[in-house]
Amino acid sequence: MNAIILSALAGVVMMLSGIFTNKQSVIKLVSIIALLVLITGNVLQTYGHCSIQIDTKNLLAFSKAGLYFNTLIFISTFVYFILSGKAIEKAGVNVAEYFALIFFVLCGVSILTSFNGLLMFFLGIEILSIPLYILTGSDKRNLKSNEASLKYFLMGSFSTGLMLMGIALVFGATGNFSLNATGQKTAYDVLNAGILAPVGLLFIFISMLFKVSAAPFHFWTPDVYDGAPSVFTSFMSTIVKAAGFYAFIHLFETKSYDLGPSWKLLLTFAIVLTLLVGNITAIFQHSVKRMLAYSSISQAGFMLFSLYSSNTLAKEGIFIYTVAYSFATIGVFAILIYLKDYTFDGYNGLAKTQPVLAFTNTVFLLSLAGIPLTAGFFGKYFMLASAVKAGAPLMLVIVAVLFAAISVYYYFKVIQAMYFKQGDAELNDNVPTSFKTALIAIAIVIILIGIFPSTVLNWLYF
C-alpha cells in the first residue's frame, strides 16, 4: 500500500512542483528524492513496516513477490532517472508534468503487482496506460509523436474494450471479480462445464498479449516506440512492459485460470509468432530506435515463456529478466539519445570518439542478446529452463534459441558500427562525466548479475 499511496502522492508533488519552480534541475532532484522515498517506503513494507494500513477489502493483496517486483521496478526507474533524467528535462517544457505522469505510471505498476481482483487489475492497467498515451504524444510539434500517440490511444482503447468484454464474460460465468473466488468456481474442467468463462479469459488473455506487445497483437509497438520521444520509449519499453508481464503472470498463475488444453497451444503460437515477428523484422531496420522497438517485441516473446511454464523458476526468471532487460535497454536508449543520427550509421566509429559509451553500449547489447557473463544470459536461461522444466516440447525451446541467435545479428550490427566501421559518430551534446560513471556502474551491475545471479535470487528468498 505504501507504494501505491506514495507514488500517487509523489505524482501530485511533482505536479505541484512545476508551479513553484521552473528550474528543471530542481524538479529532477525532487523527483529523485521522491523516488528514493518511494523505494524506502516499499522496502519498509516488504519487511513488514507498513506505515499506512488500509483495509482493502480483499481487493488488493500484497505478496512478497509483488513488493520485490515493485522495488525492482523502482530501482529500474531510479536508473532511468539517473541516466535519462537530463533527456527528460529536454523532452519539452512540462518537465514537472512528465515526472508526475511517470509517478502515476508507477502507481499503476504498484496496483498491478498487488491486485486481487479484476477490478483493480482493470484500474491498474488504465492508470498505467493513460499517462503513457500522453507521454507518447508529449513532443507536440513532432508529427511522428502525434501519430504514435493517436495510434497508441486508439489501439489501447480498443484492447481495453476487449479486456472489459472478457471481464464481463468471466463475471457472467462466475458472478465474481475476485481472483480467488473466480478460481474456486472455475476449478472444474471448463471444457465440459462452461464456455463463457474461458472465452472471457481468452479475451483478457488477448488484451494482455496486446499490452505486452506479443504477436499477433503487437502492431502498435514499433510505431509507438518509434514515434514517441526516445526518452519515453525507453521508459515504456522497459519498466512498463515488465510490469505488464508481471500482471499477466499474476493474473494467470493460479492454475484454475485455465483456458483448457488449447491454452498452451495458443501461448505457443503467440510465443513463436512474437519471436518471429520481432526478430525477423528487426533485421531489416535502418533506425536503431525502431530496431530496439522490434527487439523489445522479441524480448517479450522470451518473457512469454515464463507464462508458459508458470513455475517458480519462471517467476525467478521474470525478475532476472526484468532487471537484465530493463537496465540494458535503458542504457542503450540513454546512449541513443545522445546521438544525432539514430540510424546504424550514426554509430560508426563511436568507439574512437567515445570509448566509454561504446564499451558500455556493447555490454548492454550483449546483455540484450543474451550472451553469457551478462545478466541477459540468465534472463534467457531462466526462461528456457522453466520451459524445459514445465515439459515444453523441445522444438519450441529450439525455435526460441534459434531466434535468439538471429537477434545477435541486429544487436551486433550496432557493435560492428561502433568498433569496426570508420566514421565519426556525432553527438548532440557533451557527455558529462557523471553520465559516463553511471553507465559504467550499470554495466558493472549487469556483468555482476551475469556472473552471480544468485545475489539477486537470494535476495528474493530472503
Partner 1 sequence: MIPVLLIFIPVFAGLISFLLKNERTVKGWALVSSLIVLATSIGAITTNNPASTLFDATWLPSLGARFTVSLDGMSKMLVLLTAVAFTLVFVATNKNEYKHTAAFYGLMLLTQAGLMGVFLATDCLLFYFFWEFALIPVYFLCSIWGGKKRIAVTFKFFIYTFVGSLFMLVGILYLYFLTPDQSFSLNSFYSLKLTLTQQCNAFLLFFIAFAIKMPIFPLHTWQPDAYEQSPTATTMILSGVMVKMGLFGVIKWLLPIVPLAINRYAMPVMILSVIGVLYASLIAIKQDDVKRLIAYSSIAHIGLMCAAIFSQKNIALEGVLIQMFNHGINVIGLWIVANAIEQQLGTRKLSELGGLAVTAPKLAILTVIMAFANVALPLTNAFIGEFLMFNGIFQYNIWLAAVAGISIILAAVYTLNMVQKIFYGNTVTATEKAIDIDNNVFLSLSITAVLILVLGVFPQPLIDLTKSAVHLLFVK
Partner 2 sequence: MGITQSLFWFLSVLALVAALMVLLSKNPVHSVLWLIVVFFAISGHYILLNAQFLAIVNLIVYAGAIMVLFLFVIMLMNPNTETEPRKNFLVQIAGIVAGGCLLTVFISLVKQASEMNNKTALLKTGNIGLIGNLGKALFSDFVVPFEISSVLFLSAMVGAVVIGKKN
Partner 3 sequence: MSKIIYLVPLFPLIGFLINGLGRKFLSKPLISIIASGAILASFIVSVLLFINVKNTGSISAAYFDFINFANVVIPFAFQIDQLSSLFLLIITGIGFLIHLYSSAYMHEETSHHYARYFAYLNLFVFSMLLLVMGANYVIMFIGWEGVGLCSYLLIGYWFKNINYTYAAKKAFVMNRIGDLGFLLAVFWLINKLGTVAYVDVFANVSKLSQADITIITTLLFIGAMGKSAQIPLYTWLPDAMAGPTPVSALIHAATMVTAGIYMIARSNILYTMAPQTQAFIAVIGLATALFAASIALKQDDIKKVLAYSTVSQLGYMFLGLGVGAYTGAVFHVMTHAFFKALLFLGAGSVIHAMHHEQDIRKMGGLKKYLPITHITFLLGCLAIAGVPPFSGFFSKDEILTAAYAKNPLLYYFGMAGALMTSFYMFRLYALTFLGKFRGTHEQEHHLHESPLAMTIPLLVLAALSVVGGFIGVPEVFKADSHWLEHFLSPIFAQSAALTESHHLSHSTEYTMIGTSTALILVTIIFAWKKFSNYVPNEGENEGFNKLLANKWYVDELYNSIIVKPIELFSGLLKNVIEKNVIDGAVNGVGKLVVASSRQLRLIQNGQVGSYILIMVVFIIVFLFAWINDLTIVRFFNKLF
List interacting residues with partner 3 (CB under 8 A): 151, 154-155, 158, 162, 191, 198-199, 202-203, 206, 210, 216-217, 219-220, 222-223, 259-262, 265-266, 269, 276-277, 280-285, 393, 395, 406, 409
Q: Does 219 bind partner 1 (CB under 8 A)?
A: no
Smallest distance, Å, CB 104 to partner 2? Answer: 4
Among partner 3, partner 2, partner 1, none, the one that 164 touches (CB under a kind-dependent 5 to 8 A) is none
DSSP 421-439: S-----BSS---HHHHHHH
Q: How far apart are CA 449 and CA 320, in angstroms?
A: 8
Q: Burial, 353: exposed, middle or buried (Cβ in 10 Å; 0-12, 13-18, 19+)?
A: middle
Report the distance separating Cα 228 and Cα 263, nearest Å.
34
> Rounded distance, CA 97 to CA 99, Å?
5
Q: Give 122's DSSP letter.
A: H
Q: Across-strand partners of 339? A: 427
Could you tell me if 317 and 385 are in contact, meaning their C-beta atoms sit under 8 angstroms apart? yes
Local structure of 117: helix, strand or coil: strand
> Residue for cell digits 484500474?
123
Q: Contact between 36 and partner 2 (CB under 8 A)?
A: no
Q: Which residue has the cell 531462466?
A: 382
Q: How far is the CB of 292 from partner 3 (least distance, A)?
A: 15
284 φ/ψ angles, rounded to the nearest 5 degrees: -90, 10
**CA–CA separation, 386 vs 398, rounded Å?**
14
Q: Which does 206 bind (CB under 5 to 8 A by kind): partner 1, partner 2, partner 3, none?
A: partner 3
| Footprint of partner 1 on 376-415 (CB under 8 A) | 377, 381, 384-385, 388-389, 394, 397-398, 401-402, 404-405, 408-409, 412
Encoded amino acid at 344, one letter: F
Q: Tell me which stretch binds partner 2 (CB under 8 A): 29-37, 127-135, 334-342, 437-445.
A: 127-135
Applying CB under 8 A, the site for partner 1 has a residue count of 31
DSSP count for the chain of H helices, then E strands = 21, 0
Provide, rounded to whole angstroms, the least separation between the CB of residue 296 and partner 3.
14
Nearest alpha carbon to residue 390 among 201, 209, 253: 253
Nearer to partner 3, 264 or 380 (CB): 264
Q: How many other C-beta atoms can be found within 10 angstroms of the C-beta atom of residue 131?
A: 24
The nearer residue to partner 1, 261 or 372, going by C-beta atoms, is: 372
Residues 320-379 that bind partner 1 (CB under 8 A): 366, 371-373, 377
Using CB under 8 A, which of 15, 32, 419, 423 touches partner 1?
A: 419
Binding to partner 2 by residue 15, rule CB under 8 A? yes
First and final C-alpha spacing in the chain: 21
Q: Which residue in 161, 172, 261, 355 binds partner 2 (CB under 8 A)? A: 172
- Give residues in contact with partner 2 (CB under 8 A): 4, 8, 11-12, 15, 54, 56-57, 59-60, 92-94, 97-98, 100-101, 104, 107, 111, 119-120, 123, 126-127, 130-131, 133-134, 137-138, 140-141, 172-173, 193-196, 199
- Give residues in contact with partner 1 (CB under 8 A): 316, 366, 371-373, 377, 381, 384-385, 388-389, 394, 397-398, 401-402, 404-405, 408-409, 412, 416, 419-421, 452-454, 457-458, 461
